[in-house]
Structure 1
Amino acid sequence: MHRRTFLASASAAVLVASAAAAKPARLIAGPWSQFGGQASLDDSIWAGILRDHLRMGSDGVARFDYAGVSRERLGQYLRSLAATDPTALTRDAAFAYWSNLYNALTVDVVAANWPVASIRDIGGSLFSPGPWGEKRIVVAGQQLSLDDVEHGILRPVFRDPRVHYAVNCASIGCPNLAATPWRAAGLSAALDAAARAYVTHPRGAEVTSRGLIVSSIYDWFEEDFGGNDAGVIAHLSRHGAAVEGQSRVASDRYDWSVNA
């Protein structure tokens, strides 16, 4: 456990939450590093769901209508993703595919258990709260969990810290759920825009009288952001955060309240 997380944690419950959230990037068995020539998929169902149920708040946080979304529509979209061969996709199309799958599956999990105050109240155990470890979809003949998709495929295959701005964990503290599906066309620019939106919001980074306060994402997954404070600060600066003159991270924070 990182020192900042320990010092910022006033209770055992927070320590457990931090430990549960911090997962290493470890490639799982499967053909996930193989790519083909298909550059796009039909994402019209997901586009319609986002259009109908996602709203940007005046506070800069995107919120989703879990109570009103049709799980039948979600199921139709998830079945189409499950029937897709991700190895037929180009690298960027595969990144978009896995990110959209993660987000749609997360929305479906929360909608299926609505109402909840936090996604961490769904499934899991005392020492590993939340639904992330449960197998929920079959792709290429393999049962996958949300953890498998994020930490076993997206992070180790693509090795791009911007994956953390592409996937959404249904929480206020998380980078916003994208208002449109991720697509291969214009992917890098869209990821840069998502990164900038987060690091320039207080949820992502804020310089206070106590120093630089960052999202716990940068502590949990510090290995993806250079492995130390200097790497995190360089990443934040590169994407537009006002962190000039900061040489260390003072502490981190995260709001697990559902983004409803």
Structure 2
Amino acid sequence: MTDPVAQSEQLLRAVRRAEPIDDIEEALAALDPDELAATLDDDEPRLAFWVNVYNAAVQRALDENPDQYEDRRTFFGKPLVTVAGESLSLDGIEHGILRRSYSKYTLGYVRSPFRDAFHDQQAVSERDPRVHFALNCGAESCPPVAAYSRDRVDGQLDLATGGYLERTVEYDRAAGRVTVPRVMLWFRGDFGGKDGIYDFLRRYDQLPAGVRPSLSYHDWDWSLRLGKYADLEREESPQP
């Protein structure tokens, strides 16, 4: 069986280069779900695979028809990509698989009682808040798109997260306030609550030890922005 993570990287790179993707999409659709779950045998390859698939689906769909983005609720909720015989929406990939079916409406604290069997089969074993700095839904405020690999995804997620936080976090010592990305509010539970957010900021050198400033959140710019790619292997800046 061809490594599905490698296939997902090929898909994303082909989308980036505006190359044909029919053969890759057909191969992903033809995967066996049991074999896929077994091959993506822990959270690292699952993170890499599903982040790549999500980002490729967004870029392809909105490049073909950017008007879809005007009704984002419908866009995120409708099937956009087929993997292992399952027609999947962006919400299904993000919240069902990458966030273990935690609702997007409860600040990340409540798991949905109405779960999908395929999502459960393919889901990561633990939520990793770094995915919020890897997934790109098409908005200006989203992080850049990068290809994640099976063997390097942990370090790549650290690079992506550190870079995004460096560009967006604002700590005002005099005012006793730190302003952070809005995803930290929307998905607070993914970060472990407020205490977890402070720990996360310290982990990425965005907050000194021993301080607990008030939290505020940047507004989210939903303006459509496609083609914002980065090469994490080379630690390049996002394309302007």
TM-score under structure 1 length normalisation: 0.65
| Cα distance per residue 1:214-254 (max 9 Å; x no partner) | 111000000101122x3212112212324563432023321
Residue of structure 2 in register with 1:145 after alignment: 89
Q: Flag the 1:46–1:200 CA change in 2: closer, same or farther, 3 A.
A: same
Verify: 1:259 aligned to 2:225, yes or no.
Answer: yes
- Residue type of the alignment partner of 1:219: L
In 2, are the aligned partners of 1:120 and 1:256 still within 8 Å (CA)? no
Q: In 2, Cα distance between the equivalents of 1:188 and 1:106?
A: 23
The alignment covers a number of residue pairs equal to: 193
1:109-124 residue pairs with structure 2 within 5 A? 109-114=61-66, 120-121=69-70, 123-124=71-72
Q: Flag the 1:246–1:155 CA change in 2: closer, same or farther, 3 A.
A: same
Structure 1: give runs of 5+ residues left out of the alignment: 1-35, 53-68
Match of residue 170, structure 2, among 198, 206, 226: 206
Verify: 1:188 aligned to 2:146, yes or no.
Answer: no
Structure 2: give runs of 5+ residues left out of the alignment: 101-122, 227-240
- Residue type of the alignment partner of 1:89: L
Residue of structure 2 in register with 1:83 after alignment: 30
RMSD over aligned Cα atoms: 2.7
Match of residue 131, structure 1, among 67, 75, 79: 75
Larger RCO (alpha carbons 8 Å, 6+ apart): 1
Identity of aligned residues (%): 29
- Residue type of the alignment partner of 1:189: G
Aligned to 2:167, the other structure's residue is in SS state coil
Q: Which has the higher helix share?
A: 2
Residue of structure 2 in register with 1:59 after alignment: none
Match of residue 172, structure 1, among 137, 140, 144: 140
Q: Flag the 1:150–1:248 CA change in 2: closer, same or farther, 3 A.
A: same
| Cα distance per residue 1:106-129 (max 9 Å; x no partner) | 011211213x5xx741x45xxxx3
How far does residue 90 in structure 1 lie from its aligned partner after superposition?
2.6
How far does residue 191 in structure 1 lie from its aligned partner after superposition?
0.7
